[in-house]
Amino acid sequence: MPHPHRVRWQSIDWQSATRDVLLEGKRIRLVDLNPSGTDEVVIFLHGIAASWRWFVEILPEVARTHRAIALDLPGFGDSQFSRAGVSFEGMARAVAAVCDALEVPRATVVGHSMGSIVATRLAIERPDLVERLVITGGPILSLTGLARSPVKTFRDQPRSVATLLMELATIGMPLPARLARRVAHSPTALSLVLGPFVEAPRQLDPQVMEQVMAKLGATGSFPALLSTFASDPSADLHRITCPTRIIRGPGDPLSPPSDVERFLKAVPSASSVDIEGTGHWPHLEMPERFLAELEAFLNDRT
């Protein structure tokens, strides 16, 4: 019997929940669930090469009690590429501008992988906006130094670098829809493509993966990576003061334990919880466990 979370997302009228916001003439695509039901807002930021669809299972459940917003960052999904939004700082400014356009004064921000970097930059630069911060598939700290110090980064984190290089093969251009559907419904193909990132690729929901892969690959991916030549997106972590929770998979190849330790040392308001049996995508690998941890953090007002 399907889990209720996996049924509920299919009953949502996603077209009605989808809207565009124009930032300096460029389209930002987003979904907005329960927009008038509550002042409590949760914003979801996807990883590299991805789109808002990576949270398709999570959004309806969060929208039971919160306004749930997920956007395609500039140059990803159905959002237009913007040179101003190519860096992690630029993407953080774009998220802040979307909040202004939607009249969202304060929100919990959930960032996955690359989105976790954007979320941390937003928490650093706009502490008035970020009420709480959730990091999953991260924090990504070691890999942000790859462009500036490739030899040192590879020496310190060879598995993380090797996994990122494998990811580079898919991030630049969108995956053809027909191929995406075939991969999503093939346990063997999922194992080959996603094996480096997740603990049990054959257990992923094929229908969810079809949604995820529908917008896999993006023109903004390589420019975002190249922007780390000019600046360190992991700088000034000590400026994060809001309650912060890392929800991670112990098998995450892109965010090793040393990254978590470094983050926790720099951010006294942060704590970490592991979801056993998951890797880089806890919210896709074990959505029920991820939701339980997220809801617990949202309800914890101590």
Q: 110-144, pLDDT tens digit by residue?
A: 999 999 999 999 999 999 999 999 999 999 887 66
Cα-based angle 104, 108, 109 (whole degrees, multiple of 5) = 100
Q: 178 versus 263: which is more confidently predicted?
A: 263
Helix (H, G, I), strand (E, B) or coil at 290: helix
Q: Give tens-digit pLDDT for 65-109.
A: 999 999 999 999 999 988 777 788 999 999 999 999 999 999 999
SS3 letters across 73-132: CCCCCCCCCCHHHCCHHHHHHHHHHHHHHCCCCCEEEEEECHHHHHHHHHHHHCCCCEEE
Please state the rounded mean pLDDT for residues 197-223.
Answer: 83
Residue 180, pLDDT score? 79
Predicted pLDDT at 1 = 33
Half-sphere exposure of 93 (CA within 13 A, CB side): 11
Q: β-strands 107-112, 130-136: how paired?
A: parallel
CA 240 to chain centre: 18
C-alpha 276/C-alpha 274 separation (Å) is: 6
Of the pLDDT bands very low, low, confident and very high (cuts 50, 70, 90), residue 2 is very low
What pLDDT sits at residue 67? 96
Instruction: Identify the residue with better confidence: 33 or 37.
Output: 33
The pLDDT of residue 3 is above 60: no
- The more confidently predicted of residues 47 and 225 is 47
| Structure-model confidence comparison of residues 28 and 144, the more confident one | 28
